[in-house]
Chain A
Amino acid sequence: MTAMLEVKNVSKSFGAVRANESISLEVHEGRIVGLIGPNGSGKTTLFSSIVGAHPVDEGSIRFQGREISRLRVADIARLGLIRTFQQTRIYGGMTCVENMLISASQRGSSLLDLFHIRSAARGRQAEDLLAFVGLHAKRHLRADSLSFGQQKLLEFAMALMNEPKMLMLDEPTAGINPILIDGLIDRLKQANAVFGVTLFVIEHNMRVIMSLAEHIYCLAHGELLAEGPPEEIRNDRRVIDAYLGAH
């Protein structure tokens, strides 16, 4: 079986900084895959390369067998590959419901499709998903009046509203109240199991990624350092050294 997302020998430099050096990895359909690594190891750069935010210098990126490394951001999103941001990005001047409604999938829709009055079915879906992340009571508030953690939950709900095939989450639990983190892990697992969304997750919180991911890739200094199931990664000498700064 070929992988849903296939990254092959991808390199990316910013000036003299080699942010990603010949990285290869695979994410299979229906799985939850983790991406870890110390700060500055190139995780977010790799995410941005995959979703087309900047062109890669070398290598190939395939999504469902299709080369996407030369496509534009919006076109990649329309294939069903959606990312969330480390610094939460929501539409602050709009209500939560409006944030959700405009996040509905654009797949196969043209400019003319935007000129329709908002549909009731979409409205129900938006409300259901807001309830799913626990924001139902606040659905008519402006998104910029939510707390940081709530904005993060809203962004997650917006991503689900898009009905992606694969969701790439950049540190979904950073800045979230520790008490809410378990709830979020549950919801991520549900999104995977119930909605069938493949997840590819950057995470710094080891407890979270170990309980969430089935397979983990570890980056350090822009290179792929190790990969394997959580137990293996947890005990990998190189990974521990990278995190503790033995290099």
Chain B
Amino acid sequence: MSVAAYRPAGYLAIVAIGIVAPFLFPAYQSQMAELWLFIVFALTWDLVGGQMGYNSFGNVVFLGVGMYACVVAQVGLFYPVSAYNAARGGGATVFTFDMTQYLEGLAIGLPVGALLATLTALALGSIVLGMRGHYFAICTLGLGIAAGEIANGWEWIGAGSGMVPPNAPDAVGDLSRFYYYFALALAVVTFLVLRWLYMTRFGLAINAIRDNEDKAEAMGLKTTQIKVTAWMISAFFLGIAGGLLGNLKRFIDPIDTAFAGPTYGVWMVLMAILGGKGTLWGPVIGAVVFQVLKEASWTYLLGWQRVVLGLVIVVIVVFFPQGIMGFVRERFPDWFGHRVEGGTIAGPARKETLR
């Protein structure tokens, strides 16, 4: 019996656990909602950083753009954005949203965030994806910082004081469970889309770019076009994740929430590497392990949590540079289909004699 036969059942089991989890562990609901978003972070980072080999420290730009665009749309559809932000901290006007306004804002805000993030990837990618290796990594690091500074100084979107997403009407009460399921759905959809993507020729093309970009070009692949497209797909899902995260956190700080390079920006990379770069399941496993570690150290080792995370990074880089999935693949290449077939090299002829 091969692994493939159990696959649909495995997928269903994971989704079922995701659905019942908030009822079983209501105290951990917000951490679990964050986990689903972290899985999206790691998966979308790995698309470009792992599968395509372009280590980006700037993916957080798309998260922030999606977050701001979503919330600005949620507000701007019904009130002037600058007046809304000016009233923060108890002004004369109180801005309320009724149920229809709230849902309408979200229904338009999330796609707007996704679209703007995707367009940002198109614009930035066309410029910086011409760079390779370290140059690309450093350049994207700068992009993340620059984006944070722009948001930090832009009065219309609240500048350094940040922005508060619209409050849900009092009648509906707490919406955190609603956002939990939204995050779960986004993680599942992102996973399935990337799973499909890696089965297409596009998936092979970005792997080829990772392994030898000059060769890929010499074989007729339009590498720049492919790289920008991959970054846009990554940005699309990150943009939606940004909109959800903003509403889940109930407050957007330009540097600590939206364009949070030192936290989300680094964690994306860390989760993907921890789980195994360039594999489908690696980022998912990495995100789970990371979130558990992070929450445990925040709870039990408060004050030392950053030290613990730092140590984890060092241990991973030194002992498991290939990540969890990479480690397993090296030990059991057979499970990943890397084997010699036919009788000429090793083992008895299998496929050849069956045909």
B341 is contacted by which of A94, A105, A116, A137 (Cβ under 8 Å)?
A: A137
Residue B208, interface by CB 8 Å: yes
**Could you tell me the distance in whole angstroms from the C-beta of B298 to the nearest C-beta in chain A?**
36
Question: What is the bound-complex CA distance between A77 and B215, given in angstroms?
Answer: 11
Residue A234, interface by CB 8 Å: no
* Contact (Cβ within 8 A) B201 A95: no
Question: What is the bound-complex CA distance between A78 and B222, given in angstroms?
Answer: 10
Residue B308, interface by CB 8 Å: no
What sequence of 0s and 1s flags, for each residue 218-248 of chain B, a beta carbon within 8 Å of any chain A beta carbon?
Answer: 1111110110010000000000000000000
* Contact (Cβ within 8 A) B219 A77: yes
* Contact (Cβ within 8 A) A102 B200: no
* Contact (Cβ within 8 A) A91 B211: yes
Those of A94-149 within 8 Å (CB) of chain B = 94-95, 98, 101-103, 105-107, 111, 113-118, 136-142, 145
- What are 12 A-B pairs with beta-carbon distances under 8 A? A74-B220, A82-B219, A89-B212, A90-B215, A93-B211, A94-B211, A98-B204, A101-B201, A106-B221, A111-B225, A137-B341, A137-B342
What sequence of 0s and 1s flags, for each residue 339-352 of chain B, a beta carbon within 8 Å of any chain A beta carbon?
Answer: 11111110000000
Residue B205, interface by CB 8 Å: yes
Residues of chain A whose beta carbon lies under 8 Å from any beta carbon of chain B = 51, 53, 73-74, 77-78, 82-83, 85, 89-95, 98, 101-103, 105-107, 111, 113-118, 136-142, 145, 158, 162
B202 is contacted by which of A85, A115, A139 (Cβ under 8 Å)?
A: A115
* Contact (Cβ within 8 A) B220 A105: yes
Residue B74, interface by CB 8 Å: no
Q: Which of under 10, 10 to 19, 20 to 34, or 35 or more describes the interface residues of B?
A: 35 or more
Which 10 pairs, one residue from A and one from B, show the smallest C-beta to C-beta distance? A77-B220, A106-B220, A91-B211, A137-B342, A89-B215, A102-B204, A114-B202, A78-B220, A114-B201, A137-B344
Chain B residues within an 8 Å CB radius of A78: 220
Question: What is the bound-complex CA distance between A233 and B221, given in angstroms?
Answer: 38
Question: What is the bound-complex CA distance between A139 and B337, given in angstroms?
Answer: 10
**Could you tell me the distance in whole angstroms from the C-beta of A54 to the nearest C-beta in chain B?**
12
Question: What is the bound-complex CA distance between A53 and B10, given in angstroms?
Answer: 48
Question: What is the bound-complex CA distance between A102 and B206, given in angstroms?
Answer: 10
Residue B49, interface by CB 8 Å: no
Question: What is the bound-complex CA distance between A73 and B224, given in angstroms?
Answer: 12
